[in-house]
Amino acid sequence: QLQVVESGGGLVEPGGSLSVSCAASGFTLPHAAIGWFRQAPGKNREGLACIMSSDSSTYYADSVKGRFTISRDNANAPNTVFLQMNSLQPDDTAVYYCAVERFGLCLLPLMPTDFGSWGQGTQVTVSS
């Protein structure tokens, strides 16, 4: 059974950086789409970035392009995906979720309904 676990959230000051991680376990992911989403209180879940396990191609929502970077450690931990977040602002405060769709594609805009396996989320708070 595929399990998805996020880690690395926390409190960061405006303008700061933070990296969150997503570990997928249960089986290997020869072909999957792995996405990062976030949901702030009272708002819909928003797709941020996606990476294909087959070739590590990446896709970004316009709202985070240039500030967020999604990546994998292909050599050491191929089932782990990272989201590096820079220039964080209070509007970035949300619960950040990792989602996996086996044999899926990274299609923009990223839609939560396109991903079948989700983690529990990790809180990111941007505040002084």
Mind listing the pLDDT tens digit for each residue in 60-95? Answer: 999 999 999 999 987 788 789 999 999 999 999 999
Interatomic CA distance for residues 34 and 61, integer angstroms: 14
Distance CA 23, CA 83 (A): 12
SS3 assignment, position 109:
coil
Residue 27: pLDDT band with limits 50, 70, 90: low
Quick: pLDDT tens for 32-60: 999 999 999 999 999 999 999 889 999 99
What is the model's pLDDT at position 28? 64
